[in-house]
Amino acid sequence: MRDYTEITERLINLELPIECIGNVHAKENLNWPIHQIHLASSRDTPQSVLITGGVHGDEPAGVEAALQFLERDNTEFLKQFSFTIIPCVNPYGYVHNTRETHDDIDINRSFETDSVAEAAIVKKVLGQTQFSFAIDFHEDYDATGFYLYEGRRDEKYIGPELATAAKAIGPVDPEDPGEDAPNLVEGVYKVATEWGTQGLAPYLLHFHSKHVIISETPTVWQLEQRVALHLTILDTALDIISDPKIN
Ligand SMILES: [Zn+2]
C-alpha cells in the first residue's frame, strides 16, 4: 500500500491553492479525494496546459512527475503558459497499486459514460475549458523502453522531435504497443480515431484540447529515470509549442 497523505502533504507544502474536485467513495468506507492545482503567473498567458497522472493506479511515475513538475521552478514557462494539474486521477488505485478503480474498472476506458466516479469528476471539472495542450502520464509493465502517443487536430505532429529529445534519457521501446495506433516514427504513435472517446487523452482531444500526448515509461526503469522521461517529453513539447510560429 502506498500512502496518499504523503501526496497531500507535498501538495500542501507547495503553498498554492489546492482544489478538491471530488471524492471517490470506495469500499472500506473511505473517501479518496482527487486534487487539482492551477499554476499561473499574474500576467495573461496565451496558452493553457493540462497535466494528468495516475489514471492507472499502478503507474506511480506519472504521479511523481506531476508532483515534481509542481515542486520545481517554472518561472520561464509561466511567461507563456498557465497549467492545470491533476496529479492523481485514481487515488484508490494509487494507494492499492491497482490499474483499475476499487470496483475493477479501467478509468481510461470510461470517459464515454458518467458511471465511473473518477472519470465523472474529471469530466465535470473540465466543464467547457479549452486547453492548448494536454499530457497524460502512463507506464507500461511489458515495455523495455519509452514510447508516446500524439493526437493533434491540425496533424502537425511534434512526436518525432519529442522522441529524439527523450532518447537522451533512455531507449525507445522496440515493441508495437498493439493499440491499433498508426506509427509516425519509432516509438511515436497517433491517437487513433477508432479509440473513440473512452480514454482520457482521446476524450480531451475531442472536447478540450487541440493537441494531446500520452507519455509511456517502462516500469522496469528506476523511478527517477521514468520521471525524467515524462518531464523531458513535457518540457520539449512546451519549448516547441511556445514558439508562436509552430503552435
Ligand atoms: Zn496507463
- Please check the confidence at residue 155 and state whether its pLDDT lies above 90: yes
Residue 139 phi, psi (nearest 5)? -140, 165
The CATH code of the domain that includes 121 is: 3.40.630.10
Distance from the alpha carbon of residue 140 to the mean position of ligand 1, in angstroms:
7
Query: Cα separation of 163 and 183, whole Å?
Result: 13
- Asked if residue 246 is part of any domain, the answer here is no
- Asked if residue 247 is part of any domain, the answer here is no
Tell me what the pLDDT averaged over the chain comes to.
95
DSSP state of 46: S
- Asked if residue 166 is part of any domain, the answer here is yes
Distance from the alpha carbon of residue 215 to the mean position of ligand 1, in angstroms:
9
Neighbouring CB atoms inside 10 A of 134's CB total: 25
- Asked if residue 215 is part of any domain, the answer here is yes
* Count: domains in the chain: 1
Distance from the alpha carbon of residue 143 to the mean position of ligand 1, in angstroms:
12
Cell readout for 169 is 534519457
- Asked if residue 57 is part of any domain, the answer here is yes
Query: Cα separation of 173 and 187, whole Å?
Result: 6
- Please check the confidence at residue 31 and state whether its pLDDT lies above 70: yes
Cell readout for 10 is 507535498
Distance from the alpha carbon of residue 90 to the mean position of ligand 1, in angstroms:
11
- Please check the confidence at residue 246 and state whether its pLDDT lies above 70: no
Q: Please, are residues 26 and 129 in contact by the beta-carbon 8 Å criterion?
A: no
Distance from the alpha carbon of residue 154 to the mean position of ligand 1, in angstroms:
25
| pLDDT at residue 44, rounded to an integer | 82
Distance from the alpha carbon of residue 203 to the mean position of ligand 1, in angstroms:
15
- Asked if residue 37 is part of any domain, the answer here is yes
Distance from the alpha carbon of residue 139 to the mean position of ligand 1, in angstroms:
5
| pLDDT at residue 115, rounded to an integer | 95
Residue 18 phi, psi (nearest 5)? -110, 130
Burial class of 243 by CB neighbour count within 10 A (0 to 12, 13 to 18, 19+): exposed
Cell readout for 124 is 465535470
Distance from the alpha carbon of residue 45 to the mean position of ligand 1, in angstroms:
30
Distance from the alpha carbon of residue 177 to the mean position of ligand 1, in angstroms:
12
3-state secondary structure of 61: helix
- Asked if residue 141 is part of any domain, the answer here is yes
Q: Which residue has the cell 507535498?
A: 10
Distance from the alpha carbon of residue 182 to the mean position of ligand 1, in angstroms:
19
Query: Cα separation of 49 and 62, whole Å?
Result: 16
**How distant is the alpha carbon of residue 33 from its chain centre?**
18
What is the secondary structure of 73-94 as a DSSP string?
Answer: --TTGGGTEEEEEES-S-HHHH
Average pLDDT over residues 209-229: 98
- Please check the confidence at residue 181 and state whether its pLDDT lies above 90: no
Q: Which domain holds residue 228?
A: 4-241
pTM, to two decimals = 0.97
Burial class of 73 by CB neighbour count within 10 A (0 to 12, 13 to 18, 19+): exposed
The angle formed by the CA atoms of residues 169, 174 and 178, to the nearest 5 degrees, is 120
Cell readout for 64 is 511523481
Distance from the alpha carbon of residue 141 to the mean position of ligand 1, in angstroms:
9
**pLDDT grade for 48, boundaries at 50, 70 and 90:** very high
Q: Which residue has the cell 492551477?
A: 38
Distance from the alpha carbon of residue 201 to the mean position of ligand 1, in angstroms:
11
Distance from the alpha carbon of residue 42 to the mean position of ligand 1, in angstroms:
34
Instruction: List pLDDT tens digits, range 90-146.
Output: 999 999 999 999 999 999 999 999 999 999 999 999 999 999 999 999 999 999 999
Distance from the alpha carbon of residue 56 to the mean position of ligand 1, in angstroms:
5
Of residues 170 and 244, which shows the higher confidence score?
A: 170
